[in-house]
Amino acid sequence: MPTVWSGAISFGLVTIPIRVEAATLNRNITFHQYHLTDMARVRVKKVCELDGKALDAEDIGRGYETSDGGTIEITDDELDAMPLPTAKAIEIEAFVPADSIDPIRIGQGYYLEPDGQVAAKPYVLLRKALERNAKVAVAKFSWHDRERLGLLRVKDGVIALHAMKWPDEIRSPQELAPPQTAVPDAEVDEAVQLLEAMEVPDLTGYRDEYRAALEKVIEAKLEGAPLPAAPEEAPAPASGGVVDLMAALEQSVARARESRGEATVHDMPKKRAAQKAAKKAAGRKPRSA
Predicted local distance difference test score (pLDDT) of residue 282: 55
Instruction: Enumerate the domain spans of the chain.
Output: 5-26+62-168
Cα dist from 51 to 43, 48, 54, 59, 61, whole Å? 19, 6, 9, 13, 16
Rounded Cα distance between 242 and 248, Å, is: 12
Spell out the alpha helix ranges (H) of the chain.
76-80, 120-133, 185-197, 209-223, 245-259, 269-283
Buried b (16+ CB within 10 A) or exposed e, 62-74: eeeeeeeeeeeee
- Given the candidates 2.40.290.10, 3.40.50.970, 3.40.190.10, 2.60.120.10, the CATH classification of the domain at 5-26+62-168 is 2.40.290.10
Rounded Cα distance between 260 and 279, Å, is: 32
Taking alpha carbons only, the member of 98, 227, 217, 111 closest to residue 161 is 111
Rounded Cα distance between 196 and 263, Å, is: 14
Buried b (16+ CB within 10 A) or exposed e, 214-223: eeeeeeeeee
Predicted local distance difference test score (pLDDT) of residue 289: 41
Ordered per-residue pLDDT tens for the chain, 289 residues: 778 888 899 888 899 999 999 998 889 999 999 999 999 999 989 999 999 999 998 999 999 999 998 899 988 888 777 766 666 789 999 999 999 999 999 999 999 999 988 999 999 999 999 998 878 999 999 887 788 999 999 999 999 999 999 999 999 998 888 898 898 899 999 999 888 888 888 888 888 888 888 898 889 988 888 888 877 766 655 555 556 888 888 888 888 888 877 765 555 444 555 555 555 555 555 554 4
Buried b (16+ CB within 10 A) or exposed e, 107-145: eeebbbbbbeeebeebbeebbeebeeeebbbbbbbbbee
pTM of the predicted protein model? 0.70
Rounded Cα distance between 197 and 259, Å, is: 10
The region that residue 286 occupies, defined by phi over 0 for left and psi between -120 and 50 for alpha, beta otherwise, is beta
Rounded Cα distance between 154 and 141, Å, is: 18
HSE-up of 241 (CA within 13 Å, CB side)?
A: 5
Query: Quick check: helix, strand or coil at residue 149?
Result: strand
